Amino acid sequence: MRFSILPKDTVFYDLFGKSATHLVDGARLLAGLLDPDTDRAGTAQDIKDVEHDCDDVTHDIIRRVSSTFVTPLDREDIYRLAGALDDVMDDMQAAADYIHLYDIEHLPPGVSAQIEVLRQAADLTVDAMPRLRDMHDLEEYWIEINRLENEGDEIYRKSLAHLFSGAYDALTVMRLRDVIEQLESAADSFEKVANIVEQIALKET
């Protein structure tokens, strides 16, 4: 553990937690798009609003890094973690846009399973962020995120196989593939966040 006699701005931990809370909100709203009777335009806009809020937190973190003399973590690590959290929200928002803009009436079962993986990953991530303060009990977090990402990979492969089974016309295949690939990207982004947390923990302890 590194020590400093100078005070450090610990608000970064709160901001990481705030960013992760937006991911929980985004995953919940994304799940709402599974219902074809929901107001998809309204829900897609709600997700876009959450994405803007997440952007605001990211920009706040960047500004604080520039103006803080002594940061609680390496500056590069703060940038990396803030950017990775923001990337997750960007991926979820893009998936929501595809579902709405393509006006996909019925989504295959694999999409629901992918979104459930994202919902669980978001819950784990928001629970982990406060533990960055003392770097305690984080190992279970990144192990479980890795397990979820592997589960998501399997769902993704099965979804692709179903997509190209001949059950859909070519245009529908293209549209659904955009959705499931964007959801897979979101799962990968959650794993990137966990990997960064692991690297920070190993460095700081």
Query: Quick one: average pLDDT of 13-40?
Result: 95
pTM (2 d.p.): 0.93
> 122 pLDDT band (50/70/90 cuts)?
very high
Supply the CATH number for residue 197's domain: 1.20.58.220
Examine residue 42 and state whether it is found in any structural domain, yes or no.
Answer: yes
> 174 pLDDT band (50/70/90 cuts)?
very high
**pLDDT tens per residue, range 102-114:** 999 889 989 999 9
Examine residue 62 and state whether it is found in any structural domain, yes or no.
Answer: yes
**pLDDT tens per residue, range 134-157:** 998 999 999 999 999 999 999 999
- Cα angle 117, 174, 29 (rounded to 5 degrees) comes to 35
Residue 84 has pLDDT above 50, yes or no: yes
Rounded to whole angstroms, the Cα distance separating 194 from 146 reads: 8
Examine residue 150 and state whether it is found in any structural domain, yes or no.
Answer: yes
**pLDDT tens per residue, range 28-75:** 999 999 998 899 999 999 999 999 999 999 999 999 998 888 899 999
Examine residue 3 and state whether it is found in any structural domain, yes or no.
Answer: no
Rounded to whole angstroms, the Cα distance separating 115 from 190 reads: 12
CB 77 within 8 A of CB 200: yes
Which residues make Cβ contacts (< 8 Å) with residue 128, sequence separation at least 6? 20, 138, 141, 194, 197
Domain range enclosing 167:
11-204
* Count of domains for the chain: 1
Count of CB atoms within 10 A of residue 163's CB?
A: 19
Most distant CA atoms of the chain, gap in Å: 66
Residue 9 has pLDDT above 80, yes or no: no
DSSP secondary structure of 32-80: HTTSTTS-HHHHHHHHHHHHHHHHHHHHHHHHHHHH-SS-SS-HHHHHH
Examine residue 6 and state whether it is found in any structural domain, yes or no.
Answer: no
Residue 87 has pLDDT above 70, yes or no: yes
